[in-house]
Amino acid sequence: MIKAVSILGSTGSIGRQSIAAAKHLGVPVVALTANKKIDSVEQQARELKPKFVAIFDENAANDLKIRLADTDIRVGSGMQGLIEAATLSEADCVVTAVSGSVGLRPTLAAISEKKRIALANKETLVCAGEIVMPAAKAVGAEIVPVDSEHSAIFQCLMGRQPGELKKILLTGSGGPFRGKSRAELENVTPEQAVKHPNWSMGAKISVDSATMMNKGLEFIEAMHLFGVTPDDIRVVVHPQSIVHSMVELVDGTVIAQLGVPDMGLPIQLAMTYPERKASPFAHLDFYAMKDMTFEAPDYEKTPCLKLAMDCARRGGTAPCIMSAANEVAVAMFLNHRLGYNRIYDCALQAVESIEIVNKPDLEAVLAADEQARVFVREHFS
């Protein structure tokens, strides 16, 4: 089990649940970072007494510094602050729960210090899987996924030999609009889109779950994390979210990981791995359980999933462009400045319009990310 943890993105849904897990396990939280929500961070800092807190926004960081002047807690800011939090010598594990490509540099910095990465930032692998995975391998840094599906696959593969895996069966609930056509979804509001049937999550990922872009991002993430090709992954719609994903082995055996749909479980495992500890979460009751059903995705009705799978095959900066464009589009949708169906249009047009770079380095990845953001702002607002 880990000794101490830094939590990047501590005020978001995963960040708050990571703090709860650390408290339950008795693991000290030595660093926190947030974008600019200093009321929440101040509260967390006073309770947890970390060594260091970083606020990405410079002005907000200055405000927090004044507020925490009566404590020993150091306050940093900007990307430098995030990197410092990610590499703090006291921590042997870093939860990367920041949203978006801002997590990329801190994650790489933590890897170079051989920290365990409890990976909750999808963009890290979607945009830079070809950079991050070899970097982790080179120094022997562990990457333990926090995303429920990848945690499930990770668990199903524990103790397996590399040649034994035949297929990854990536499950997804299908979101709140499963089976609905594009025409039926034309007037969807942010309030409707963030209402996920099974999972309680942040707004951005809830919208991604509704469009199934989330499953597409997870498809790309799985490819990198488990070193497989797009042909080795099959998406399976499983509306009840009891099976969190499965692996099919070469002999035809399928191993599944099941549990209640609570992100607290994969978060705790990322901290206790390879051990298991008692958790405060509900256990599955098979007597009370209703049906479990499985079906193929309808790609006509989930074009974002199809686009992501196409980008996975295209490789290079295509997934990064798609993901960044989607991120901006979702933010605009949540602010009522963009229609629901236009989210897909944004991502598609960005991928079709921006030049895709093959085998990008980190600079090329970040440039593609920025280009996609500018593209969506210029063409869709």
Burial per residue of 86-100, b for 16 or more beta-carbon CB atoms within 10 angstroms, e otherwise: bbbeebbbbbbbbbb
Please report whether residue 221 would count as binding Mg ion according to CB under 5 A. no
Picking from 97, 315, 318, 307, the residue whose alpha carbon sits closest to that of residue 223 is 315
CB-nearest residue to Mg ion: 147
Residue span binding Mg ion (CB under 5 A) among the ranges 47-55, 62-70, 130-138, 139-147: 139-147
* Cα–Cα dist 280/290, whole Å: 23
Residue span binding Mg ion (CB under 5 A) among the ranges 8-16, 142-150, 220-228, 275-283: 142-150
Residue span binding Mg ion (CB under 5 A) among the ranges 42-50, 144-152, 228-236, 323-331: 144-152
For Mg ion, the closer of residues 208 and 369 by Cβ is 208
Residue span binding Mg ion (CB under 5 A) among the ranges 77-85, 141-149, 354-362, 368-376: 141-149
- Looking only at residues 79 through 118 of this chain, which bind Mg ion when binding is defined by CB under 5 A? none
Q: Evaluate the omega torsion of the peptide bond into residue 297 and state whether it is cis, within 30 degrees of 0.
A: no
Q: Do 35 and 225 contact (CB within 8 A), yes or no?
A: no
* Cα–Cα dist 62/60, whole Å: 5
For Mg ion, the closer of residues 241 and 371 by Cβ is 241
For Mg ion, the closer of residues 209 and 317 by Cβ is 209
Q: Do 340 and 193 contact (CB within 8 A), yes or no?
A: yes
Least gap, CB of 131 to Mg ion (angstroms): 22
* Cα–Cα dist 53/33, whole Å: 6
* Cα–Cα dist 360/131, whole Å: 8
Q: Position of tokens 């969190």?
A: 244
Least gap, CB of 311 to Mg ion (angstroms): 18
Q: Residue 97 — φ and ψ, nearest 5°? A: -110, 15
Least gap, CB of 199 to Mg ion (angstroms): 8
For Mg ion, the closer of residues 87 and 148 by Cβ is 148
For Mg ion, the closer of residues 147 and 248 by Cβ is 147
Residue span binding Mg ion (CB under 5 A) among the ranges 64-72, 88-96, 146-154, 286-294: 146-154
For Mg ion, the closer of residues 148 and 317 by Cβ is 148
Least gap, CB of 277 to Mg ion (angstroms): 22
Please report whether residue 147 would count as binding Mg ion according to CB under 5 A. yes
Least gap, CB of 101 to Mg ion (angstroms): 18
Count CB neighbours of 25 within 10 A.
16
For Mg ion, the closer of residues 84 and 149 by Cβ is 149
Picking from 282, 232, 234, 275, the residue whose alpha carbon sits closest to that of residue 258 is 282
Q: Which residues are at the interface with Mg ion (CB under 5 A)?
A: 147-149
